[in-house]
Amino acid sequence: MSEAEAESALQQAITQFNQQEFYACHDTLEALWTEAIEPDRSFYQGILQIAVACYHLNNQNWRGGMILLGEGSKKLKTYQPSYHDLDITHLCTQSLNLLQKIHQLEPELRGELLVLVPKIRFK
């Protein structure tokens, strides 16, 4: 995949993520991730993990969502404050904030937190 194709695919993945099309975002990022080399490979994987976490949360798979929110945020930590013109600090902060709130609530109340699903924004 050329650099221009990778950039276009990343833009598509961000749009899908922000429109909460998390499964489609996963597919788009997976295609990038499998062909990428470091440091982009881990970067794509971190966003992919957060996207899959949000997919799980929307399906009330709290455990899977919490695990992947933590793993994705941890992976993206080294890309802060920004990478590929994306505000990674903001994404990590939102993701970890959501993770903390999920931990604090009883399972039957967690669905109310879905309004806190993170967005990816440009720097």
Whole-number Cα distances in Å, 39 to 3, 16, 75, 82, 116: 14, 22, 11, 13, 28
Confidence of residue 123 (pLDDT cuts 50, 70, 90): confident
> What is the value of pTM for the model shown?
0.87
- Tell me the pLDDT tens digit for each residue of 80-105: 999 999 999 999 999 999 899 888 76
Q: Which CATH architecture fits 3-116?
A: Orthogonal Bundle (1.10)
Q: What pLDDT, on the 0 to 100 scale, is given for residue 106?
A: 65
Q: What pLDDT, on the 0 to 100 scale, is given for residue 103?
A: 80
Please say whether the beta carbons of 84 and 120 come within 8 A.
no
The domains of the chain are located at: 3-116
Residues 2-11, mean pLDDT to the nearest whole number? 93
pLDDT for 109 beyond 60: no
Q: What pLDDT, on the 0 to 100 scale, is given for residue 10?
A: 97
